[in-house]
Amino acid sequence: MSTLPTIQSKKPTRSSQQPGALRNQASLEIQTRQAQFLLDGRTGARGIIGLLQFSRFVGDLWHAAQQDDPYADWALLRIEEAIEKGRAFINEKNLAMGKSLNALGSMKIELARTQAPAVIELSFGTPYGFMGAYLLSDYDELARSVLTAQHCALVDRDQAGELIRAGGNAVRRVYQLPTVWRRTDINRDEVRKGTDAASNAAQLMGALPPEVLEMKKRAKFAPRINRSDSGES
């Protein structure tokens, strides 16, 4: 009588290879020169911060907030609130323009499109870069609607100019906000202790709201804080 050979099962081994960092791809298609201007911005004495500069500045804020800089946290909160307010304002104007373009009975008007849109590949290190891009995309859509309505005699030149300026100002206000922050390399402990560095920071950027200092109020997309004693995991 023959016996079957014993099959030895191997224990699964733990892989030493770790997955790399996740990467994504995104692009922004710009139809109007007005939006293109707010992508690149303008240098010089009368410089204007564009989306690309905004994303770099907000990246500095992001890294400082990770290191428990409460002023960086405060700046991100104000930026987030300003983006929400700016998008609501632009979308309200865009909705009104859409109603005008669609209230023509049997006549239908499509939004003007360029045959050669500018397509920009987006690669941002923080959520705020993408949030700034959404704001610019909304403005581009508004500019298209307004320019279409002007061409079709639904708004006059002055009305169109005012709408485009108002939308552009909403974008510029957001993009300018990161420049208010100044790097001081302080953290919440120093603010609580009232160090000289914290006093200097208050002179530069104002009195810190208590709810920001105690992390009772943070931006929804703020980063995790890299401090074991900060209360953040």
Over residues 126-154, the pLDDT tens digits come to 999 999 999 999 999 999 999 999 999 99
Confidence of residue 178 (pLDDT cuts 50, 70, 90): very high
Task: Indicate if the pLDDT at residue 51 is higher than 70.
Answer: yes
For position 230, what pLDDT does the model report? 45
C-alpha to C-alpha distance for 136 and 170, rounded to whole angstroms: 10
* The pair of three-digit structure tokens given for residue 17, joined into one six-digit string: 């290879």
pLDDT tens digits along 6-23: 555 566 566 567 787 767
- Residues with Cβ within 8 Å of residue 61, at least 6 apart in sequence: 72, 75, 76, 79, 128, 178, 181
DSSP result, the chain: ---PPPPPPPPPPPP----------EEEEE--HHHHHHHH-B-STT-B--HHHHHHHHHHHHHHHHTT-HHHHHHHHHHHHHHHHHHHHHHHHHHHHHHHHH-STT---PPP--SS-EEEEE--SSHHHHHHHHHHHHHHHHHHHHHHHHHTTSS-HHHHHHHHHHHHHHHHHHHHGGGG-------HHHHHHT-HHHHHHHHHH-PPPHHHHTTSS--TTPPPP--TTSS--
For position 33, what pLDDT does the model report? 93
In terms of pLDDT, which residue wins out, 15 or 42? 42
Find the mean pLDDT for residues 37-56: 87
For position 118, what pLDDT does the model report? 87
Domain ranges of the chain: 36-213
* The pair of three-digit structure tokens given for residue 126, joined into one six-digit string: 């923080």
In terms of pLDDT, which residue wins out, 205 or 42? 205
What are the Cα distances from residue 223, in Å, to 25, 54, 58, 191? 21, 17, 12, 20
The pTM assigned to this predicted structure is 0.84
Find the mean pLDDT for residues 159-170: 96
Q: Rounded mean pLDDT of the chain?
A: 88
Find the mean pLDDT for residues 194-198: 93
C-alpha to C-alpha distance for 229 and 68, rounded to whole angstroms: 10
For position 217, what pLDDT does the model report? 95
Task: Indicate if the pLDDT at residue 62 is higher than 90.
Answer: yes
In terms of pLDDT, which residue wins out, 2 or 113? 113
In terms of pLDDT, which residue wins out, 20 or 171? 171
State the sign of the Cα–Cα–Cα–Cα dihedral 209, 215, 217, 220.
positive
In terms of pLDDT, which residue wins out, 7 or 122? 122
Find the mean pLDDT for residues 222-232: 71
